[in-house]
Amino acid sequence: MELHGWIDAYLNHLRVERVLARNTLDAYANDLNALVRHVGAEVDPARVGAEVIASLMLENVERRGLSARSSARRLSAIRGLFRFLVRERAIAEDPTRLLDRPRVTQKLPRILSFDQVDRLLGAPDCTTDRGCLHAAMLHLMYASGLRVSELCALSVADLDRQRGVVRARGKGGKRRLVPVGEVALAHVGHYLDVVRPKAGVETPSVLFLSPRGGRFTREGFWKLVRRYAVGAGILPLPSPHKLRHSFATHLLRGGADLRAVQAMLGHADLGTTEIYTHVSPDHLREAHAKAHPRGMRR
């Protein structure tokens, strides 16, 4: 089988056996198509050596200006393909095993301050049906740390108002239960009881209905967040994912257990959650003053 055929087989394996999300599959396909453009679609994978892949990685940086993070992600996708080929006995050895992963500097997530969160959540006009819907979405996302895709995919049955939890479907189709605070529950409850019944429902199972009666898209919610951020005077303009970053960081600063935050975020690796343990210099000074036996100023 030629390279493009094996790529299709690998993507199908990721979709069926590993149950990766559509957006993740698209990212894999984009990275693997870069390899196809570099070596040709009809080449035998056994003829693709480490030198060829290394030249692609060099081209990514020098000609296309890819960042170290993007290059590392692309190499990861290619490495996954060749490991699959070894497993399927299409090739004898993995040519990527000798290639070093580009060094990626760990960037601290940017978060909103407590005041900025208050201003953003208070921006929708809750005297209107549309404002009630938008307020419910914003409050639930911040209260539960959901990803945008998880928020938009929620069904009515995913929210348990009696227990105060929401069931989110994360990466790989994994389900998790996340607590929802009383304020967010009140906003979502008002939307469900008062606003949503007025809508012409094409998809009755969807929790948050778009103006057309279907699911919100990630892009639609992104525009919604930016519009309210502009009205609230929040700069630089935040992405929806910044609400998730803020949820995790605010929980940890409030004393939440790291493992509990990991479970709420749906992270498979605790190391992914640990990035949220970063603190500002002022927070460090405050912690030192409170905890160190000689840290308090007399």
Catalytic hit among 147, 169, 215, 245 = 147
Of 10, 142, 228, 276, the active-site residue reads 276
pLDDT at 70 (0 to 100): 84
Catalytic residue among 4, 190, 241, 253: 241
Long-range contacts for 119-123 (Cβ within 8 Å, ≥24 apart)? 119/232, 119/233, 119/234, 120/225, 120/228, 120/229, 120/232, 120/234, 120/238, 120/243, 122/232, 123/228, 123/229, 123/231, 123/232
DSSP secondary structure string for all residues of 224-254: HHHHHHHHHT-SSPPPTHHHHHHHHHHHHHT
CA-nearest of 189, 144, 206, 204 to 170 is 144
pLDDT of residue 201: 63
Concerning whether 142 is annotated as a catalytic residue, the answer is no
What is the CATH code for 114-283? Answer: 1.10.443.10
- Catalytic residue check, 267: yes
Catalytic residue among 187, 242, 244, 245: 244
CA distance 137 to 213: 16
Weakly modelled stretches of the chain, pLDDT under 70: 62, 64, 104-108, 200-203, 278-298
| pLDDT for residue 285 | 60
Two structure tokens written together for 142: 């911040």
* pLDDT for the residue 154: 94
Active site residue 276: yes
28 is catalytic: no
Global pTM value: 0.69
Give the pLDDT confidence of 172-230 residue by residue, as tens digits. Answer: 778 899 999 999 999 999 999 999 888 766 567 889 988 887 888 888 899 999 999 99
Q: Domain segments of the chain: what residues?
A: 3-98, 114-283
Q: Quick one: 3-98 is in which CATH superfamily? A: Tyrosine recombinase, N-terminal domain (1.10.150.130)
Provide DSSP, 174-227. Answer: -EEEEE--HHHHHHHHHIIIIIGGGS--SSTTBSSB-TTSSBPPHHHHHHHHHH
Which of 161, 171, 190, 253 is labelled catalytic?
171
* Sole residue written with tokens 């103006």: 211
Q: What is the pLDDT of residue 298?
A: 44
